[in-house]
A and B are shown apart, each in its own frame.
Chain A
Amino acid sequence: MNRRDFLKAVVASGCFLGAGGIRNLLQASTAKTSASVSAPLLVIVFLRGGADGLQLVGPTGDLYYVSSRPPQMRVADSADVKALILSSSLDDRLGFAMNASGSPLFDHYRQGRLAVIHAVGLTDATRSHFVAERLIETGFTSESQLNTSSQTGWLTRAVTGKHGPVSGFSAAASSMLSQHGLSEALAAPDLDGGLAVPMGDTTIKFLEKVVVQDNSIWADATARTLSILQTIDRRQPRDASGRIVPAGMGTRVSYKGAGDLARSLPAVARLASMEVGLSVSSIDFGGWDTHVSQSGTVNTLFRQLATGLAVFQEDMAIRNIPVTTVVMTEFGRRVRANKSDGTDHGHAACWFVLGDKVRGGRMYGQWPGLATSSLDNGVDLKVTTDYRLVLKEVIQASMLDVSKTFPGYLPYNPLGLMG
């Protein structure tokens, strides 16, 4: 069933839609179809803290894997845990499988919408969260660049020339570094409370007069905020009494079970429906810095991630808005566990790309192996795929500007991630 058929079926059944729901849905679909030959929205979900890729997707048949970690920190292929074996993996002899908590994502893999990129990351040797996150979010690969270049985010550079009223959104209290320097950017943990200004229009008029008086960064921030808030607040769906209808509630899908993502993902979906020129969105999903008692934490977070992304994919399909979602993290974790039942900072990670334009159902990259001699510094999974290669192909498929995003980066061996 393609998206259009699915939409028709949903409308025909009408079973989980209120009357307003159908109307909104129809509006959304008619408004969007004409324009939606357009580029997919690019959504970045950043797993903060360094997600342990080896507990998310692992080579269950690799003896080095089995011997280096206790069972609860592995993707297990045993009778009591149903392993989600990934076909077209990096090496089918090694029995690559996905953590059972990720089954909603596994379904997308089987249906060809999810790609898994393993042993991906920074070629820089850093094991610092802050340096690694900053490198990735500014689109760099070497720490020397952090001190010398102007630090715009990689997403900011990718949306060059695409300025709508709101080109970028960070579902957080503050804009993410990947959107640093983007003027037409909104940051808000969600949109449910509305974006009203205290005392309304009179305050807006006062502040608009004041900002004419000075050219400071504080006046710039005020002017920018006023412009963005008004653009969005006008477009928020409201009920009969004028109250904003909370995103992700009372409508098509339920984000229940998605943890913190149940707040951010529906906000992205709503903003994308507002036709404010949204090209990119950034979401943080934290809690992955698992130095202690790792296994339960990672399983729970991965279940929330998989649940949230699968619902989001469905939500966006109903809204008829094409989307590509990249799940990234700053680095993976140490192959061997520490004595706190956790893992310390490692190197290569596992990333995911989900969307209709993705050539999914496959793993991408090269498996470097887990024998000590194959490891980075003898302890960590080696990076065999430069993270920029993944992002470059995603940017191209999103019809964004790849030329300025990673200056000087000329990969010679494309992954072919996007169809």
Chain B
Amino acid sequence: MTASHDKAKPFVRRASLIKPEMNVFDTFNRLGFGAGIPDLERFKMQHIMAWLDEQLHPDDKEDQVCQKRLSELRIPIRYGKSKDWPAVDEMRPVQYLNAEPEELVALTAPGKSRSYQELQRPRVEVAIATLLRAVYSRWQLREVLVDFWHNHFNVNAWDQNIGLLFPVYDRSIIRQYCLGNFRQMLEAVAQSTSMLTYLNNRSSRTGAPNENYARELFELHTMGEDAYMNSLYNRWRQVPGAPRGKPEGYIDQDVYEAARAFTGWAVADGTRISGDEILPRTGRFAYVPSWHDNYQKRVLACEFDPYQPEMVDGRKVLDLLSSHAATAHYLAKKLCLRLVSDNPSESLIKSAAKIWKENQHQNDQIARMVHYIASSPEFLKSRGAKTKRPLELMASFVRGTGFDFTPTEALINQMAAGGQRIFGWPTPDGHPMKSDYWLGSNAMRQRWILIYGLASNQFGNGVMDPIALVLAQKMTAGTFTDTWIKRLYGRDNPRLTKLVLSSASYNPDTVITRINDARKIVTWLAMAPEYQRC
């Protein structure tokens, strides 16, 4: 801690007494979105490893509670009339979560005009469903990984061109492969309309390819920026290992060549290719041979012969990248950053990378690495090492309190004010993973507003009655606060009880009756710094 840091602190601190061992409650906070009462009751019967195994094999059919809530979900939609449409103001069920690309692109069919709200709807439905699943899904670890991969393969779905087909991206790619095989996932992403649009590869043509996708494929999706050696070498042969065909890193020459390899990977969007040849307007992946650069290439010291069969150039790049040691290390490090701490040890990263590499041809490659990390001694001693982002803060509070919750767009907006734009992060790197981004002065204040708003139903998410929720009609303020601390923190904390009650000017022996007092106490408990970590 620096001297200037100390100077800024107006308070004298006592040392933290937190022990690093994870218990059931903490595990739910990290591998899920917080512990609810049913989880804790159910979990007592199971060993943590058995729970982990179960979580790595999720099945929606065995998640009736969440499926029922999804099917009963109604999301308001409201807009004024124009010459092309009447005014709308209704509660509407979700309709796009299982939609095929054709159905979604039909929303913008030529000659059709629809309101902004209608065109945002596919993305809004996915975002609302994501919040609902974070709170109610039995498959909590899957939801954590879905969030991880959405950030890893970030697209900005708040941009309508990308948001339109976002249900397909979420369902058929991120959810489909979040515990599966990375190489398969990588190709699915490369051929997804969302990514082809977001990183512009759909308009990349032989002669002057668009490098946007190829660059981020190396830097963000696979090998990582630590393997970018452009400032050290400007000829591919100079990269260590390259003469043996095993370069340790990549340089711009690899990016240029890879961009050529992906020319012709496009979207069936009704474009005229030449003469009478017109792509159908399906919103699906299309390979256009005449847009592809057929000549020989060299990527990562590997020679590609000219005139390869369709899509072989691009697939070969994906093979080279997904099997590279730098990719294993980068993905291992990122998952450790997500699941363990902001500073995972190099030994954990290396051993996790080894698991990744050993299982690179397995269909459950990702699940195996997650299992390895989540059962490591380092994980089991990492209590409170991560910061809850607004999504974890929101979901752990809702799960901990247990009130009947309905996600809303107002809540999504408040989470964005706290720094987390669900599916709307503008740049391809995804939300920052380390704590400092989430703990600035504005982000902290927005967290407090988030908690306050949930507790007092400011965003239309449902009424939280802290007295009814713990059956506290005749509880003293002291017992009431103890009960809620246990519920939100998973442990007793008499010192916090004392602080809360003295701040609320409450005698611990007075029976608590006023719902506003009760709400204030619960709100404060979740605003406290200790509640911001997981």
A residues bordering B, Cβ < 8 Å?
48-49, 124-131, 142-143, 147, 160, 163, 170, 172-175, 180-181, 183-189, 195, 197-199, 202-203, 205-225, 227-229, 286, 289, 291-292, 336-340, 342, 344-345, 377
Can you list 15 A-B pairs, Cβ within 8 angstroms, ordered by A? A125-B231, A127-B252, A128-B225, A128-B228, A163-B7, A163-B8, A174-B443, A183-B5, A183-B7, A203-B524, A211-B13, A211-B529, A229-B445, A339-B205, A339-B210
Please indicate the chain B residues that have their CB under 8 angstroms from the CB of A130 in the complex. 219-220, 225, 427, 429
Task: Say whether B23 faces chain A, with CB atoms less than 8 Å apart.
Answer: no
A183 touches B8 (CB 8 A): yes
Known: A128-B215, A223-B11, A345-B211. A218 touches B532 (CB 8 A): yes
Task: Say whether B160 faces chain A, with CB atoms less than 8 Å apart.
Answer: no
Q: In the assembled complex, how far is the CB of residue B25 from the closest CB belonging to chain A, in whole angstroms? A: 17
B204 touches A340 (CB 8 A): yes
Please indicate the chain A residues that have their CB under 8 angstroms from the CB of B4 in the complex. 160, 163, 183
Task: Say whether B203 faces chain A, with CB atoms less than 8 Å apart.
Answer: yes
B442 touches A186 (CB 8 A): yes
**Can you list the 10 inter-chain pairs with the closest CB atoms, starting with the nearest?**
A198-B452, A183-B8, A218-B529, A206-B503, A221-B439, A340-B203, A215-B13, A225-B444, A339-B205, A339-B208
**Chain A residue with Cβ nearest B436:** A180
A342 touches B200 (CB 8 A): yes
Q: In the assembled complex, how far is the CB of residue A263 from the closest CB belonging to chain B, in whole angstroms? A: 13
Task: Say whether B14 faces chain A, with CB atoms less than 8 Å apart.
Answer: yes
Residue among A160, A189, A197 facing the most chain B CB atoms (10 A cut-off): A197
Known interface pairs A175-B441, A184-B8, A344-B210; 19 further A-B residue pairs with C-beta atoms within 8 A, sorted by A's residue number: A128-B228, A143-B228, A173-B419, A173-B440, A173-B443, A174-B440, A186-B441, A187-B442, A198-B451, A206-B499, A206-B503, A207-B528, A210-B496, A210-B529, A216-B18, A219-B13, A222-B444, A292-B203, A339-B210
Task: Say whether B362 faces chain A, with CB atoms less than 8 Å apart.
Answer: no
> A289–B200 Cα gap in the complex (Å)?
11
B residues bordering A, Cβ < 8 Å?
2, 4-5, 7-16, 18, 199-200, 203-205, 207-212, 215, 219-220, 225-226, 228, 230-231, 234, 252, 255, 384, 387, 416-419, 426-427, 429, 435-446, 448-449, 451-452, 495-496, 499-500, 502-504, 520, 523-524, 527-530, 532-533
Q: In the assembled complex, how far is the CB of residue B263 from the closest CB belonging to chain A, in whole angstroms? A: 9
Please indicate the chain A residues that have their CB under 8 angstroms from the CB of B504 in the complex. 202, 206
> A227–B15 Cα gap in the complex (Å)?
21
Please indicate the chain B residues that have their CB under 8 angstroms from the CB of A186 in the complex. 441-442
Please indicate the chain A residues that have their CB under 8 angstroms from the CB of B12 in the complex. 212
Q: In the assembled complex, how far is the CB of residue B464 from the closest CB belonging to chain A, in whole angstroms? A: 14
**Chain B residue with Cβ nearest A208:** B11
B426 touches A286 (CB 8 A): yes
Q: Choose one: B209, B426, B496; the contact of A339 (CB below 8 Å).
A: B209
**Chain B residue with Cβ nearest A215:** B13
Please indicate the chain B residues that have their CB under 8 angstroms from the CB of A163 in the complex. 4, 7-8
Q: Choose one: A127, A215, A289, A336; the contact of B230 (CB below 8 Å).
A: A127
Q: In the assembled complex, how far is the CB of residue A201 from the closest CB belonging to chain B, in whole angstroms? A: 10
Q: Choose one: B200, B210, B499; the contact of A213 (CB below 8 Å).
A: B499
Q: In the assembled complex, how far is the CB of residue A108 from the closest CB belonging to chain B, in whole angstroms? A: 30
B11 touches A211 (CB 8 A): yes
**Chain A residue with Cβ nearest B214:** A344
Known: A214-B16, A224-B441. A345 touches B215 (CB 8 A): yes
A291 touches B210 (CB 8 A): yes
Residue among B11, B495, B533 facing the most chain A CB atoms (10 A cut-off): B11
> A48–B429 Cα gap in the complex (Å)?
13
Q: Choose one: B13, B208, B429, B529; the contact of A337 (CB below 8 Å).
A: B208
B14 touches A198 (CB 8 A): no
A216 touches B441 (CB 8 A): no
Please indicate the chain B residues that have their CB under 8 angstroms from the CB of A211 in the complex. 11, 13, 529
Q: In the assembled complex, how far is the CB of residue B515 from the closest CB belonging to chain A, in whole angstroms? A: 14
Q: In the assembled complex, how far is the CB of residue A256 from the closest CB belonging to chain B, in whole angstroms? A: 22
Please indicate the chain B residues that have their CB under 8 angstroms from the CB of A129 in the complex. 427
Residue among A197, A228, A340 facing the most chain B CB atoms (10 A cut-off): A340
Q: Choose one: B7, B231, B533; the contact of A218 (CB below 8 Å).
A: B533
B209 touches A125 (CB 8 A): no
A198 touches B13 (CB 8 A): no
> A226–B211 Cα gap in the complex (Å)?
45
Please indicate the chain B residues that have their CB under 8 angstroms from the CB of A170 in the complex. 440
> A199–B449 Cα gap in the complex (Å)?
10
B210 touches A128 (CB 8 A): no
A224 touches B499 (CB 8 A): no
B13 touches A188 (CB 8 A): no
> A289–B2 Cα gap in the complex (Å)?
37
B230 touches A126 (CB 8 A): yes
> A218–B532 Cα gap in the complex (Å)?
7
Q: In the assembled complex, how far is the CB of residue A140 from the closest CB belonging to chain B, in whole angstroms? A: 11
> A159–B446 Cα gap in the complex (Å)?
27
Known: A184-B8, A224-B8. A342 touches B231 (CB 8 A): no
Q: Choose one: B14, B417, B452; the contact of A173 (CB below 8 Å).
A: B417
A131 touches B496 (CB 8 A): no
A203 touches B437 (CB 8 A): no
Please indicate the chain B residues that have their CB under 8 angstroms from the CB of A338 in the complex. 204, 208-211
Please indicate the chain B residues that have their CB under 8 angstroms from the CB of A291 in the complex. 199-200, 210-212
Known: A199-B520, A229-B445. A216 touches B533 (CB 8 A): yes
A227 touches B445 (CB 8 A): no
Known: A128-B225, A219-B13, A342-B200. A198 touches B532 (CB 8 A): no
B437 touches A198 (CB 8 A): no
Q: Choose one: A49, A131, A175, A229; the contact of B228 (CB below 8 Å).
A: A131
B210 touches A195 (CB 8 A): no
Please indicate the chain A residues that have their CB under 8 angstroms from the CB of B18 in the complex. 214, 216
